[in-house]
Amino acid sequence: MHEPAGESLDALLRALLAEDVGRGDVTTETIVPPGARARGDIVAKSDCVVSGLPVARRVFELLEPGIEWGAEAATGSRAGAGNRIARLAGAARPILTAERVALNLLQRMCGIATLTRRFVDAVAGTPCRVLDTRKTAPGLRPFDRQAVRDGGGANHRYDLSEMVLIKDNHRRLSGGVARAVEAARAGAPGVEIEVEVESEAELAQAIASGADRILIDNQSPETVARWSEIAHGSLRRPFVEASGNMRLDTVRAYALAGADGVSVGALTHSVAAADVSLELFVE
Query: Catalytic amino acids?
Result: 100, 135, 167, 196, 217
Q: Which of 212, 223, 116 is nearest to 157 (CA)?
A: 212
Neighbour-count burial of 32, counting CB atoms closer than 10 A to its CB (0-12 exposed, 13-18 middle, 19+ buried): middle
Rounded to 5 degrees, what are φ and ψ at 259?
-65, 135
Query: In angstroms, how far is the first alpha carbon of the chain from the final one?
Result: 41
List, in sequence order, every beta strand (DSSP E) within the chain.
37-44, 48-49, 68-71, 78-79, 84-91, 129-131, 164-166, 193-197, 213-217, 239-243, 261-263, 276-282
- DSSP string across 184-216: HHHHSTT--EEEEESSHHHHHHHHHTT-SEEEE
Are residues 2 and 142 in contact, defined by beta-carbon separation less than 8 angstroms?
yes
